Structure 1
């Protein structure tokens, strides 16, 4: 078995628009095409730290970071944080880290961010593992709560949101909800969620995802296998990866199967390039 290759942590000060942020991330060097990981709402870069355990990915450089307002990353104006803002952050981080072409892996909010990033510069994407990133209005089962369960107090909204997720019938919900107050700043939630809903309702995301030329996998939990657009994805040449004993959070419920699919797509894309 190959030795674990350590991830090095970094802090990167940036200005996006007029907003000062400080990005907390980890990276490692390597000789292959870089792997870029974008986490979902209420999660952090550590969702992907077990990349070091994947022997078949051992030669690949790695980049993962906390979105502003999440984890250890900071933002001077939390009202500025939206999905388009996160795309701009990704563009700047990739530029500073001197990453041109890369394998994209994004979960939920991170999948949507990766989709918009790829749509803007499709030639940079070697492969795209989309882990239940938003592509249709029905994907807003969490984010649309900003309207259906609106509350004037951001902290109270996040607390009630966590209670609802924790009490759901879905795999991983209680584990995810237990760390929400520690992983996302309440003041950033409204603008993030509102932008996710607006893009899902009006952004023609499914067409944009299908139009990407790179090899693509759409990963989803078995409890979400009734998503209406799955047949359209399959017909459009997207590889579907259903994760057993899982809902929206494969990194919590079935990480072994999640990593197997990520590794398989990356390896095949590298072989074909």
Structure 2
């Protein structure tokens, strides 16, 4: 079914390590490099559907899908889902779509999935926009709750997770929290969160990110501009994109600025002579800036 400025909704059946998966996808045909989007935990492919309405992306092929256990997508064994499983899913989906080389955009869980995919196959990625995807242990402010607030019942853990995030003092947290129960299956949460924490703590994600041989942009909300590694990213050639009036979810809080920065970055990636030198965050910004407090009992 074709809707929303040329996007087509369709299903993609796959087998991932012997587990049946049925992905709910949106895509658009076009010319030039495709843009591949991977959504975050508790979100869906629709986070990116407005790409079809922005003139800066006119004519570009696009592809996004709900991760297994999320949104409308299905998975025969929810206990199998983890970041490595999601990487294999992405590679299988790209193969089925005939997408070889592409611009990559990933948010949070999707940013970490994108990083692991790009590390394995750097020759396939033309540019990478990482929207607060995990690159260090401090990024596990959502996923580490599986250890900080454990519960044997996955349904109750998810309900408690929703309540904590609804009350969090960040842009769009209530909006995000109230829809989580409709966008992720409770039994998929543990495997996703535990693998995110394990990779963030033990897999040298920062080294992987900095070693990628193509243009990279790290996007973050202004509420998170105290992330300790931002100057290190800038000093190592990563473009930084701070999104005003936003926290972890710029696609909800300030979507116009998010899309503007992605379009400008991808344009520079396609035209190297337009590249600009990354700039570290201002150490003495004017006005009041909010920082991420220790969330929900995290030490």
Question: TM-score surpassing 0.5?
Answer: yes
Question: 1:246: which partner in 2?
Answer: 246
Residues 166-205 of structure 1: CA deviation (Å, up to 9, x unaligned) = 0010111000001001000000000000000000000100
Structure 1 CA distance for aligned equivalents of residues 12 and 237 of structure 2 = 38
> What does 1:1-273 align with in structure 2 at a 5 Å threshold?
5-272=5-272
Which contiguous aligned blocks of 4+ residues in structure 1 show a shift greater than 6 angstroms? none
Residues 106-125 of structure 1: CA deviation (Å, up to 9, x unaligned) = 00000000000000010111
Structure 2 CA distance for aligned equivalents of residues 176 and 6 of structure 1 = 27
C-alpha displacement of 1:5: 3.1
RMSD: 0.9
- 1:5 touches 1:58 (CA, 8 Å); kept in 2? no
Three-state SS of the structure 2 residue aligned to 1:180 is helix
Three-state SS of the structure 2 residue aligned to 1:10 is strand
TM-score (norm 1): 0.98
Structure 2 CA distance for aligned equivalents of residues 138 and 74 of structure 1 = 31
Residues 125-165 of structure 1: CA deviation (Å, up to 9, x unaligned) = 11100000000000000000000000000000000000000
Structure 1 CA distance for aligned equivalents of residues 12 and 219 of structure 2 = 30
Structure 1 CA distance for aligned equivalents of residues 216 and 60 of structure 2 = 19
- 1:43 touches 1:180 (CA, 8 Å); kept in 2? yes
Structure 2 CA distance for aligned equivalents of residues 222 and 136 of structure 1 = 18
Structure 2 CA distance for aligned equivalents of residues 59 and 261 of structure 1 = 18
Gaps of 5+ in 1: none
